[in-house]
Amino acid sequence: MQKKTLLTAIVLLGVMGCLSGTETCSTVGVCRLPGSSGNESADTVLSPVGEQSIKKIRQAPRLATLAGKTIALVGGSFMASITHPELKRLIMKNYPTAKVLLLNEIGSAGPWPGPGVIRRQKDEFVRKLRQFKVNAVISGNGGCGLCTPKEMGSCIAAEYENIPAVMIAAPGFSQQAVLAGAIAGVPVPRVAEYPGAFASHTREELLQNTRKVLYPQIIKALTGNFTEQEIKAAASVLSGSAGRVFKGSPAEVNQYFADNNWSDGLPIVPPTPSRVEEFLKYTDLPPEHVIAAIPPAYRKATIKLVAVNGVMAGCPPEFMPILIAFTKALCDGNFRRTLASTHGWTPYCWINGPLARQLELDCSQGMISNMRNAQIGRFINLAMINLAGYHIKSNRMGTFGYLMPWCMAEDEAAAVALAWRPYHMQQGYQLNDNVLTAGSALNWGNNLAPATDDPQKIMEMIAWDAVEKQQFALGSGTPFVYRTILITEYVARDLAKKFRSKSALEKALIATARQPLAERAYANYWGNPGSARSSRNISLAQHTARIGRKESAAATAVPPWLKWSGKKELETVPVMSGGKTAILITGDASRNKTMCLPGGGYVSIRIELPANWDELMQAAGYRKLSSFYLRSNLKPLVPAAGMRYGKQRKNQR
């Protein structure tokens, strides 16, 4: 059955802050929640979302016909090698005077850059749209959390040039495509929906669905006028409630926030003005100070909104400097880049410096489940939703969902006792600087328990674990990935007998962690995270040779864990590279454990404390910060200059 074109953003109501139900607002701007009992003792609470920073553009009318028009048919994701040539054939058959330009002729825009960001790929695509006098753009295929906004970028670029556009996406990603366009200022993004998972369909299914399902939608999207219904629906997609004040009982507040996608569904602490004021005492920044307009929603994240979400998460007010630091981390593209992926990168953080000890953040047994650590993890979850604008099933596309974010601390006393620099000192900070590092992980658990005190054997076991825990299962994704390796104290002590620094350990791991080329190529061929491979295009043997060339395959000694094969040499590829491994001493010191967390890039942010921090903390019952200082002769590895948030460091490139 032919599907209707997804012409509007109706599905997004509620996602970007559209209000559920009808509130009654007083003359002073306090809105009573729908269904409220009218109890005057009800809580007054603040909205947790910020003001949208991107204004809508005016879209050009759609085309009357494709006859005589120049059409850019771009994108290369998810079986586009089959769908796009067929679409070109259909267009040329029905509109012989049209001209169709493919990806290799005109390129694509890539992900749409945020305000103030210059992206050469987008600028070059726009230049070619003008050069070739393009009249319409078709982009696809959106079948994953990262490729969908990438392919929508070409449509956004076209609409900004007054060129009608339509994107092709799988059912689970149509909503993400529409949202990406709407956030970028396109009033009515149009999407043609493919019926199913691109890479799971046979060539014949792909061709039939292109002819019978996609093509009619695409023609309608490019030539059909905007209807009153879709214009009205689209106009409400980004209508927000920034700065609104609501009144209701705790149960009503919880239900209303959940209905409007302002919570993760778990109970929240109502963010009353008095609670928010307590948080604001713990920063010298004014409440309306804008940290940034954070992607993907580009809402203005103010200090007050950080406090609102901190209250909701159940954090104590003195966590405010940490919450601000994580909000700054969300501005870093290298950390944030993977967070919408279908592969389920979960954001997390760890804290270095005396502040972690003062605030009693745990670095021992059960650390991430400690109440204080968990409160920061909950804030991360709410910040993802309300400050950055990530929403499950809309633009946060984990196939099986996500873990709750977590927070850790490094056992710096154990590290300096071994003459190993804590992580923040490796990044150029002083030992007693307070630093938050944000990262993301693809797994948690599945520990390694080295049953030896031999540092060489422990290193080999960690290297093997790294080979087994790559970006995607079996090593089917990109060749190198960031990894955080957690090591308990006495395993670190044994390693330090041979490896005098974390850098020395990382160097040994890089040399040892190698995967047989045949295994790597097999995984990437049959488990490729994008388009399915086809023996009619490239054989497994050809793909193996290509992987070997691209990933510097070499005949090496057989990895220690494969000695049973009886071979002396084996063609292998590296799975680790320098500067992509964070090694932390943490966890239960009574247990011999390591854990490898593959994931995304890192960013380290200095935690800024208010001038009266000691006074505030003494009033709250804490000891002075200086009483938690450590002493060591260790020096930072690199100068801290240039390591502020928003600047890319070598270990992030």
- Distance from C-alpha of 405 to C-alpha of 114, rounded to nearest angstrom: 25
Q: Are residues 505 and 523 in the same domain?
A: no
Alpha carbon distance 305, 167 (integer Å): 34
State whether 526 and 626 are in the same domain.
no
Which residue in the block uniquely carries the two structure tokens 């106009």? Answer: 235
- Tell me, what's the pLDDT at 221? 96
Q: Which parts of the chain have pLDDT scores under 70?
A: 1-41, 234-243, 531-536, 639-653
The DSSP code sequence of 151-163 is HHHHHHHHHHTT-
**Residue 449 CB neighbour total at 10 angstroms:** 11
Helices (H), 249-292: 250-259, 273-280
Q: What are phi and psi of 620, to 5 degrees?
A: -85, 0
In a domain, 253, yes or no: no
pLDDT at 231: 79
Q: What is the pLDDT of residue 528?
A: 78
* Distance (Å, whole) CA 318 – CA 627: 17
Residue 387 lies in a domain: yes
DSSP SS3 for 582:
strand
- Give backbone dihedrals phi and psi of 435, rounded to 5 degrees, phi first: -140, 135
Q: Give the pLDDT confidence of 516-548 residue by residue, as tens digits.
A: 998 888 888 888 777 666 656 788 899 889 888
Closest by CA to 309, choosing from 377, 224, 235, 229, is 377
CA distance 155 to 164: 8
Cβ count within 10 A of residue 187: 20
Whether 256 is in a domain gets the answer no
Q: pTM for this structure?
A: 0.82
CB-CB contact of 16 with 238 (8 Å): yes
Q: Does the residue 48 lie in any domain?
A: yes
Both 536 and 570 in a single domain?
yes
Residues 34-74 have pLDDT tens digits of 655 555 557 899 989 888 788 889 999 999 999 999 999 99
If asked whether residues 443 and 524 sit together in one domain, one would say no
CA angle 483, 562, 586 (to 5 degrees): 30
Decide which of 193, 220, 248 is a domain's last residue. 248
Q: Looking at the structure, do residues 216 and 339 belong to the same domain, yes or no?
A: no
What gap in Å lies between CA 324 and CA 346, rounded to an integer? Answer: 19
Asked whether residue 546 falls in the same domain as residue 618, the answer is no
CATH number at residue 130: 3.40.50
Q: For residue 30, what pLDDT is reported? A: 60
Domain termination residue (choose one: 574, 602, 625): 574
Of 523, 552, 574, the residue at which a domain comes to its end is: 574
What is the residue range of 70's domain?
A: 1-248
| Residue 212 DSSP code | I
Q: Return the pLDDT at 3.
A: 41
Q: 186 and 333 in one domain?
A: no
Is there a single domain that holds both residue 281 and residue 235?
no
State the angle between helix axes of 517-526 and 540-550 in degrees (0 to 180), rounded to the nearest 10: 120
Residues found in the chain: 653
Task: Indicate if 232 and 283 belong to the same structural domain.
Answer: no
| Contacts for 143 with CB less than 8 Å, ≥ 6 apart | 77, 78, 169, 170, 173, 197, 198, 199, 530
Same domain, 332 and 354: yes
Map residue 109 onto helix, strand or coil. coil
Total domains in the chain come to 3
Q: In this structure, which amino acid lies at residue 429? A: Y
* 50 plus 165 within the same structural domain: yes
